[in-house]
Structures are given as structure tokens and as C-alpha cells.
Amino acid sequence: MYTKKLSNQALIYIALAILMLFTLLPNLWLVSSSLKLDEEIFDIVPSWIPNVFTLEHYKWLFSEGGLDFGPLMYNSIFVSGVTALVTCVFAATGGYALGRFDFPGAKVIGFLLLLAQMFQGPLIMIPWYQMAADWGILNTKLVLILIYGTSTIPIGVWLMMGFFKTLPKELEESAMMDGCNKLQIFAKIYFPLVKPGLVAVLLYSFILSWNDYQYALILTSSIDAKTIQLGIAELMDSMGKANWGGIMAAGVATTIPIIILFSFIQRQLIEGLTAGSVKG
């Protein structure tokens, strides 16, 4: 029995190691290539470790004569961060209302939240472009935050509604007996219990906004509003000799904020996903 248990654990670790290698090898190659000279990137016999380490691609990336990555990074962090925070506010309050209160139309609202996910991408691009032009917010960070919210808020509210529904009603009854009103019950009793779910919603919203290309392509055009994804795409589509080292460096720099964010909230995220898989 003990030998069989060890064999099963060994198989699990081997499978995890293979999965990690499959996932990480492209990223490790990206990092390695960003530190190589241009001619070494296309060597016939590739090497993992650069013969000559260079940071020229990163210097070019953030220089005004290069991609001028700084403003693009700021735009992406600002838009994604605000979208994630706004989504969490609506997800917490909307999920609380739909999950803990029984009122006419609650089920219809829940159904419409799921239905809203069907109307994304090209279907809403032309109406959004026309509305943004009429409102005077075309080519601004605000229009990106609003259109990303149409994707993140409905799914965020739906997920949090499931979290709130699973919480024991006795908690609310006990709090009301102690003199708490609905707002106090939400802030002091329920909010700490659903925090893992909110963290999952936050990360989902941030990554969805961070990785978007199609909306940014249509709705923005200036350096004041363009995001990282659009800047990299323009760099790859530009005429003339492509700076592949710079593209590799841009790919590395683009993943750093996601890695930092995940490193801070990974524990809460795993708790939230695990709870959601059971409660949902």
C-alpha cells in the first residue's frame, strides 16, 4: 500500500513537471532571446544561454526613439486597474443584492447577466464606436474602461451571486439580532467571507483588460490612450526590418505586471477558485 502511494505521488510530480516545462519553456526562451544580440537570436544552432548578454533591447524599448513603452505601460495599468476595481465594486454589491434578497425580477436579471456575454466583440464594436464619438470619449482611457466593464461586470456579478447564495442565513439573522442593518451585515459579516471570490474576479477583470487588442485597436489611436498590446502589434506590423530583440523584450515586460499581481494574490485566488468550483 505504501509503495503504491509513493508511485502515485511520483506520477503526479512527473506529470506536473512535464506540464510546467510545457508552460514555462516558451517564456524562458522569450527571456533568453531578449538578452541576446540580434544576430544571435537567429543562429542556426540556438542556445539557451546568450553568448553575450545585452540590455540594449530593453533600453530601446523604453526610449523615445524606440517603442516608448512607458506611456503604453501606464495606460494599460491604469485602464486594467480601474476596470478591475470598478468590476469588484459592482460584483460585490450586485452579487449581494441578487444572492441575498428575493425580489421580483431577480432571476431575470441573473439570466440577462449571462446573456450579456453573448453580445461582445464585433457585435458591439460599431454601436460602441458611434456612442463614444457622440459622447466625446473616443480615443480616451475612459472608453476602454467602459467597454471592458461590459464584459467583466456581468460575469463578476454572476460569480459573486453564487458566493453570497451559499452563505448561511443564520449569520444574517444573528447580526440583525445584534442590531446590525443590511449595510453593516454586508461590510462586517459577508464581505470578509467572499473576499477570495472577489480576488478571483479582480484578477480575471485585470487580465481580460490587459490582454485586449480588438477594442483598443478600434477605439484608440494616440499615445495618450493606446495600450501595450496595441503598441506591440504596431511594432510587429511596421514596415522595414523588425526589431525582434525589442519585440522579445516587450513580451517580457508585458508579463511582469501580471506576475507581480498574481504573486500578491495567488493564495486568495486559489481559495476563491476552489470555493467557486464547489459552491458555483
CATH architecture of 56-279: Orthogonal Bundle (1.10)
pLDDT reported for residue 200: 86
* Highest-pLDDT range among 181-195, 214-228, 255-269: 214-228
- 271 band by pLDDT with thresholds 50, 70 and 90: low
- 162 band by pLDDT with thresholds 50, 70 and 90: confident
Given a cut of 50, whether residue 278 has pLDDT beyond it is no
Given a cut of 50, whether residue 268 has pLDDT beyond it is yes
High-pLDDT (> 90) share of the chain, %:
22
Mean pLDDT calculated for residue range 53-61 = 88
Across all residues in the chain, what is the average pLDDT? 84
- The full DSSP string for the chain is -HHHHHHHHHHHHHHHHHHHHHHHHHHHHHHHHHTS-HHHHT-SS--SS-SS---HHHHHHHSTTTT-HHHHHHHHHHHHHHHHHHHHHHHHHHHHHHHH---TTHHHHHHHHHHGGGS-THHHHHHHHHHHHHHT-TTSHHHHHHHHHHHHHHHHHHHHHHHHHTS-HHHHHHHHHTT--HHHIIIIIIHHHHHHHHHHHHHHHHHHHHH--HHHHHH--STTT--HHHHHHHHHHSSSS--HHHHHHHHHHHHHHHHHHHHHHHHHHHHHHHHHHHH-
Given a cut of 90, whether residue 137 has pLDDT beyond it is yes
pLDDT reported for residue 207: 92
